């Protein structure tokens, strides 16, 4: 008798043979026919041929982003596959096959293997799934098993429905933003204003109703998912009559003759044409889209005074601001006539440098009177 162990082993071989024959597998025992004595050791070797293993879906490495016309390296790994040489890897974008990889190297054991593909997406690929499809083919037993996985990638190419959006004052504007990514990115809008950015929307559309001047400016479309994030900016222009421009003088108060002055004309609207000129004289114009025009007047004269006009103009109207500039005359010191110092006696001259003009005048008068008296005593009457 073989004993319990022998019976158990024989039962297990029979059951396994039934299972493998049902699935078309082949079990090889070595030695095929074994005769041995009771109580002696027996060693049997069992080898199974054509037993495919494909236990899980292929794994794709996460991709930071897919951007149109930029090459990206893709990586797909299949784990614990047998036989590996029967695996066919197919890269797909949507339903379109991009590339097929068919390894031919035989392996005798269960293997894991990674497949690399350099992919350059096109604009037409945006919004389509990027997939790695692995198929295990074994014609000997009529088996073909397929597993497929979609790649996860962060937002890449962002498209906005209008590159230069504009809206008339009081009008309506809609801008749509779309970003390619998997999982599908969440789209949100915000506008740069004084202080922190403020969220304006949480869907693909930015909607502006009854447009006002304050709604003009830079808006940002943001897209994010579990892999990454990206944003794109667009400038919204509100069209209407220009705002009243500003005009100012570089000086505080009225300038004086001979000073250098600058007159500044400015607007907060880049879409207007700015002109700065003196009333009834030639104009100084700024280039298109300039927001400041300067007029420099070196050594200003009284004749440069007058009314200066800052004018902002667009297709919807014209607005002006004015400034009246008055130039003060520069005060000049009058030159005093020289005193007749030569007629003063020598006794008076040394003191002239140390006394005031009034004192000198008094001394001069006294001297003249004294001279007149002495002269009158010399007259002889007949």
Q: Which two tokens stand for residue 293?
A: 């025009």
Q: Which two tokens stand for residue 232?
A: 């794109």
The confidence score (pLDDT) of residue 53 equals 79
185-200: buried (b, 16+ CB within 10 Å) or exposed (e) per residue?
Answer: bbbbbbbeeeeeeeee
CB-based contacts of 108, cutoff 8 Å, min separation 6: none
Helices (H), the chain: 3-22, 349-352, 357-376
CATH architecture of 246-325: Sandwich (2.60)
pLDDT digits (tens, 9 = 90+) for 132-169: 999 988 777 677 889 999 999 999 888 899 888 999 99
CB-based contacts of 330, cutoff 8 Å, min separation 6: 256, 257, 258
pLDDT digits (tens, 9 = 90+) for 226-248: 999 999 999 998 889 988 999 99
CA-CA distance, 23 to 51, in Å (whole number)? 9
Of residues 379 and 117, more confidence is placed in: 117
Tokens 């945006």 -> residue:
126
Task: Considering the chain, tell me which residue range(s) the CATH 2.60.40.10 domain(s) occupy.
Answer: 59-150, 158-239, 246-325
CATH class entry, domain 158-239 = mainly beta
CA-CA distance, 373 to 164, in Å (whole number)? 103
State whether CATH 1.10.357.10 applies to domain 59-150.
no
CA-CA distance, 233 to 163, in Å (whole number)? 9
Is the backbone of residue 134 left (phi > 0), alpha (psi -120 to 50) or beta? beta
Q: What is the pTM of this model?
A: 0.56
CA-CA distance, 75 to 80, in Å (whole number)? 17
Mapping DSSP to helix (H, G, I), strand (E, B) and coil, where does residue 32 land? coil
Q: Which two tokens stand for residue 306?
A: 């007058």
The H or E element that residue 120 is part of is: none
Tokens 């004269």 -> residue:
301
* Mean pLDDT, the chain, whole residue set: 78
| Res. 36 pLDDT band, cuts 50 70 90 | low
């Amino acid at each position: 008798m073989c004993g319990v162990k022998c019976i158990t082993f024989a039962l297990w071989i029979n059951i396994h043979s039934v299972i493998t024959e049902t699935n078309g597998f082949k079990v090889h025992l070595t030695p095929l026919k074994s005769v041995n004595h009771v109580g002696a050791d027996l060693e049997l070797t069992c080898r199974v041929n054509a037993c495919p293993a494909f236990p899980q879906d292929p794994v794709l490495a996460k991709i930071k982003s897919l951007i149109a016309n930029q090459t990206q390296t893709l990586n797909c790994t299949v784990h614990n596959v047998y036989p590996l040489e029967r695996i066919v890897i197919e890269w797909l974008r949507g339903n379109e096959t991009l590339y097929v990889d068919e390894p031919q190297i035989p392996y005798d054991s269960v293997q894991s293997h990674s497949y690399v593909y350099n992919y350059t997406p096109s604009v037409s690929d945006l919004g389509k799934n990027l997939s790695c499809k692995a198929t295990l083919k074994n014609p000997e037993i009529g088996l073909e098993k397929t597993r497929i996985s979609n790649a996860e990638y962060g937002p890449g190419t962002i498209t906005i429905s209008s590159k230069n959006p504009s809206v008339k004052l009081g009008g309506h504007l809609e801008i749509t933003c779309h970003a390619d990514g998997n999982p599908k990115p969440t789209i949100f809008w915000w506008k740069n204003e004084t202080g922190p950015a403020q969220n304006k929307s949480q869907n693909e559309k930015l909607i502006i109703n009854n447009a006002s001047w304050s709604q003009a400016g830079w808006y940002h479309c943001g897209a994010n998912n579990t892999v990454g994030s990206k944003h794109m900016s667009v400038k919204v222009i509100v069209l209407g009559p220009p705002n009243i421009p500003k005009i100012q003088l570089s000086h505080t108060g009225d300038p004086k003759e001979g000073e250098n002055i600058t007159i500044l004309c400015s607007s907060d609207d880049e879409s207007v044409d700015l002109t700065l000129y003196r009333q009834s004289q030639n104009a100084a114009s700024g280039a298109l889209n300039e927001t400041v025009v300067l007029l420099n007047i070196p050594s200003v004269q009284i004749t440069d005074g007058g009314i200066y006009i800052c004018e902002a103009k667009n297709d919807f109207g014209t607005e002006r601001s004015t400034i009246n500039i008055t130039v003060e005359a520069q005060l000049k010191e009058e030159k005093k006539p020289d005193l007749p110092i030569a007629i003063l006696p020598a006794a008076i001259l040394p003191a002239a440098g140390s006394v005031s003009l009034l004192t000198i005048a008094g001394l001069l008068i006294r001297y003249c009177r004294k001279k007149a008296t002495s002269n009158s005593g010399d007259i002889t009457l007949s």
